[in-house]
Amino acid sequence: MYLGIDCGTQGTKALLLDAHSGRVLGQGSANHELISGPNGRREQETEQWTSAFEKATAAALVEAGVDGRTVLGIGVSGQQHGLVMLDAEGQVLRPAKLWCDTESANENQRLLDWLGGEQGSLERFGVVIAPGYTVSKLLWMKEQHPQLFERIAHVLLPHDYLNYWLTGRYISEYGDASGTGYFNVRTRLWDFDILRYVDSTGRLEAALPELIESDQPVGRLRPELAKRLGLNPKAIVSSGGGDNMMGAIGTGNISPGAITMSLGTSGTLYAYTDQPRISPQPSVATFCSSSGGWLPLICTMSLTNANGAIRDLLQIDLEQFNALAAKAPIGAEGVTMLPFLNGERVPALPQATASLHGLTADNLTRANLCRAVIEGVTFGLRYGLDLLRESRIRSQRIQLIGGGAKSPLWRQMVADMMATPVVCTTHSEAAALGGAIQAAWCHARQSDPHASLEDLCERCVSIDEATALEPSAKATDAYEQAYRHYRQLVIAMYGQ
C-alpha cells in the first residue's frame, strides 16, 4: 500500500493505492486558503500544507479502513514554481509565493533582458522564464525584504518543502526543478550564473537542495512524525515531483503518443518525449518529466479560478453555473471573455486584465456570461494545443483530468474546440495517484533495479470509457469561428 499526496493551490488530496491490484482504497482532502493582495500577490502559509496533509491522510486511512503502519511508501506532488525559504534552523522565513503570483513580473523582465530575451533564455535553459517561475521571486525577495533575504539558508519548492517536513532532508528532483528558472533541462543541472546575478555572495547557490533521480528515495519518515500521522516509520518517501509531472504518471503519460489536459485552478497540456526536443515556441516549456524523460508543457493561469469568479459574481453554485452555461449557444451570442483576472502565462501577458466584449442589451444574460467564461478559458488551452502541434506533438485522444473534467458540458466543449476525441481517466486525482505510483516504483527499485514504471502504470491507471466523447463537426466549425474572434481580440489588445 502506498500513499500519494497532491498539495495544490486550493487544497491537499491524499490517496491510498494497493499497487498489487491497482485499486484505490481510500481518499481524503483538506482545503487551503489563499493570501491575495495588490499587484498580483498570491501566497500561502506552509503550515496550511502540513495541516492539510495530516487531515487528508487521516481521512484517506479512515475511508480505506486500513492500518497506516502498513504503508510502504509516500509520493508527494506539489504545485510548481512556488518559493519556500528556510533559515539555518529550518524555519520558514515568510509565506510561500505561489505559481500564480505575478508580483515579480518586473523582476522577471529584468532577468529576461539579462539573458538576452526569450531566445537567450531558451538557449541557456531550454525554457523561457516566466513571472510565475521561482527565480524572479528570489530577485523580488532580495529587493523587497533584504533582511529576510540575508537569512536564507535553504531554497525549496512546495513539494521539496513537504519532503523536508517528512524526512528532514533538503532534496529536489529534475521535473519540479525544471520550473525554477535556474535549471538547465538539457543537462539536468542547476544554473548558478543566474543566481549569482541575483545575488553575488553565493548565498543562493549554497541554499539549493541536492538533485536526485525520479526513482530515488528522499529518505524515510521522521519517527515522531510517523507516530503522529499513524504511518509506518520505515516508509520510503520517493522523490515526488511537480503536479504536472505526477499527473503525467497518474494518467500513464510516460511514453510518446499521449496528451494530458488538466482542467484545474490552472489549465495545463503536456505530452511525453524521450529526448529534450526544445520547441522554438517560447510558451512551450520542455520540462523534465518525473519518469526519466521530458514533458513539453503549456500552462494557462486562467481556468476554474475564472469560472469561480463569475459564479461568485452571480452568487450561484456549480450546478446552477453549469445549467446556465448549457442554455447559451456556442459563442454565447457574441459575448467573448478574455479571462485574464490575474494576468496570463500562455500567451505571456502577466500584466493583462480580464475583459468582456460584444455585450449588447440583448445578449447580456447570466447564461451568456457563464458560457463566455468557460469558452474563454478553454480557448486559452486551444491556443496551447496549437503550439504543441506546431512542435510535432500528436495524439489520437486527449486524456482529461482535474475538477473541470467532471463536467460533461466542458468535456464536450474540449472535444469540439480541439477537434479531438476526449476521455477521462478513472481517477480524476491523477497527481495524487501519480505520487502513489512513483512511491511504489521507488520502493520496488530498492530490491530490483529494473522494476518497471510502465508495468505499474498499466496496472494502476485505467480509462473511464463511459466519459469518452467524440467531436461534432458542426460544433467544431462554430467553435473555430468563435476561437478566431477570441484570438483577434487578444492580438488587438496585447499584440500576441
Residues carrying an active site annotation: 243
- Rounded to whole angstroms, the Cα distance separating 167 from 162 reads 9
As a whole number of angstroms, the distance between CA 390 and CA 388 comes to 5
CA distance 120 to 262: 30
Residue 405 CA to residue 408 CA, distance in Å, equals: 7
- DSSP lists the bridge partners of residue 307 as none
Helix (H, G, I), strand (E, B) or coil at 166: helix
The residue type found at 119 is Q
What's the rounded Cα separation, in Å, for the pair 17 and 28?
A: 12
The answer to whether 211 and 174 have CB atoms below 8 angstroms apart is yes
Residue of 431, 418, 366 whose CA lies nearest to 176: 431
Residue with grid cell 502541434, as numbered in its chain: 389
The rounded distance, in Å, linking the Cα atoms of 175 and 188 is 9
Q: How far apart are CA 76 and CA 490, in angstroms?
A: 37
Q: Are strands 398-401 and 259-263 parallel, antiparallel or unpaired?
A: parallel
Residues with Cβ < 8 Å from 283, sequence gap 6 or more? 128, 298, 345, 346, 347, 348, 384, 387
| Short-list 153, 171, 175, CA closest to 162 | 171
Q: How many CA atoms lie within 13 A of 190 on its CB side?
A: 19
- Residue 237 · residue 53 · CB < 8 Å: no
